[in-house]
């Protein structure tokens, strides 16, 4: 007997509140195959799907799913099937699922598939249990088959971030496709130089003389000076050709 999804209370987020908004750059552009699309329009739809599911930095030619694209262009699959294929691809799993714990991965999938933030820790826990007990495929299937997804996007519309406009603010929040794909727990495992925590410090002679790498740095500098001096002597006596125009 499978475990049912735990109950959680939807919080009142922007996408659950209808309001009048003046169209602008903050409004999402909707890509759909409800009408017959030209080749250029279909290309734009496919790019929008990649941008929504993959992080912007993950939009590489090596991550493209050529077979899925050809099926979508031939109308053999729907946009929802295409989204399912992208999320279940090896590239998405390697770059997002393997690099995060279940909680962070659930948060990413809710943002990119359902187009909204996670409601609360209860929802994050509920979907994490589904992911842990039923596996990745069933977790993605339940998201795509949910009433929320079908009522907002259906079979023909690419998911998008719903209502980025925040109350009493002139600009919307950061788009999901620009947010870091990993959580703080994964970031803290990286070397400090990779995450930008180590700021360059001005040179201090006393600090350098007390550093454990002092002897190694002095040896490298002395070796470089000897090499330059040797090359200069060889060039002076004509034993080493000068570097310059012929």
**pLDDT given at position 113:** 94
Same-domain pairing of 215 and 114: no
For tokens 């929320």, name the residue: 148
Q: Is residue 6 part of a domain?
A: no
Whole-model pTM?
0.67
Same-domain pairing of 105 and 227: no
pLDDT band at 149 (very low <50, low <70, confident <90, very high): very high
Phi, psi of 16, rounded to the nearest 5 degrees: -95, 0
pLDDT band at 153 (very low <50, low <70, confident <90, very high): very high
pLDDT digits (tens, 9 = 90+) for 58-99: 777 888 999 999 999 999 999 999 999 999 999 999 988 988
194, 213, 234 - which closes a domain: 194
Q: By mean pLDDT, which of 130-139, 143-152, 163-172 is the weakest? A: 163-172
Give the structural domain span for 220: 201-246
Q: Is residue 142 part of a domain?
A: yes
Q: Token digits for 2?
A: 């499978």
Same-domain pairing of 50 and 133: yes
Residue 98 or residue 243, greater confidence: 98
Cα 103 from Cα 127, distance rounded (Å): 8
Same-domain pairing of 22 and 131: yes
Q: Is residue 2 part of a domain?
A: no
**pLDDT given at position 37:** 86
Same-domain pairing of 27 and 137: yes
- Say which residues have a Cβ less than 8 Å from residue 142's Cβ, sequence separation at least 6: 5, 130, 134
Same-domain pairing of 156 and 47: yes
Say if residues 158 and 42 touch (Cβ distance below 8 Å): no
pLDDT digits (tens, 9 = 90+) for 210-219: 676 777 777 8
What is the per-residue DSSP string for 166-227? PTT-SSBPPPGGGS-SS-HHHHTTS-HHHHT-S------HHHHHHSTTHHHHHHHHHHHHHH
**pLDDT given at position 35:** 84
Number of independent structural domains in the chain: 2
Residue 139 has pLDDT above 50, yes or no: yes
Average pLDDT, the chain: 79
Q: By mean pLDDT, which of 16-20, 63-67, 99-103, 121-125 is the weakest? A: 16-20
Q: By mean pLDDT, which of 2-11, 69-78, 193-202 is the weakest? A: 193-202
**pLDDT given at position 246:** 45
Q: What is the CATH number of the domain that holds 84?
A: 1.10.3130.20
Same-domain pairing of 104 and 173: yes
194, 212, 237 - which closes a domain: 194
Cα 50 from Cα 163, distance rounded (Å): 20
């Amino acid at each position: 007997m499978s475990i049912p999804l735990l109950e959680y209370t939807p919080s009142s987020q922007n996408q659950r509140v209808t309001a009048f908004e003046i169209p602008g750059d903050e409004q999402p552009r909707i890509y759909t195959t409800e009408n017959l699309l030209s080749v250029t329009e279909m290309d734009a739809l496919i790019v929008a799907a990649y941008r929504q599911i993959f992080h912007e930095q993950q939009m590489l030619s090596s991550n493209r799913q050529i077979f899925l694209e050809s099926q979508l262009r031939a109308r053999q699959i729907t946009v929802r099937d295409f989204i399912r294929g992208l999320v279940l691809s090896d590239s998405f799993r390697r770059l997002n699922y393997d690099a995060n714990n279940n909680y962070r991965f659930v948060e990413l999938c809710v943002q990119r598939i359902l187009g909204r933030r996670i409601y609360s820790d209860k929802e994050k826990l509920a979907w994490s249990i589904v992911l842990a007990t039923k596996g990745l495929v069933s977790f993605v299937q339940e998201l795509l088959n949910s009433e929320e997804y079908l009522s907002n996007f259906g079979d023909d519309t690419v998911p998008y971030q719903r209502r980025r406009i925040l109350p009493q603010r002139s600009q919307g929040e950061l788009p999901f496709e620009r947010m870091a794909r990993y959580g703080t727990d994964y970031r803290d495992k990286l070397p400090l130089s990779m995450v930008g925590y180590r700021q360059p410090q001005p040179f201090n002679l006393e600090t350098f003389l007390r550093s454990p790498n002092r002897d190694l740095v002095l040896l490298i500098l002395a070796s470089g000076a000897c090499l330059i001096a040797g090359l200069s002597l060889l060039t002076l006596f004509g034993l080493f050709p000068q570097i310059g125009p012929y």
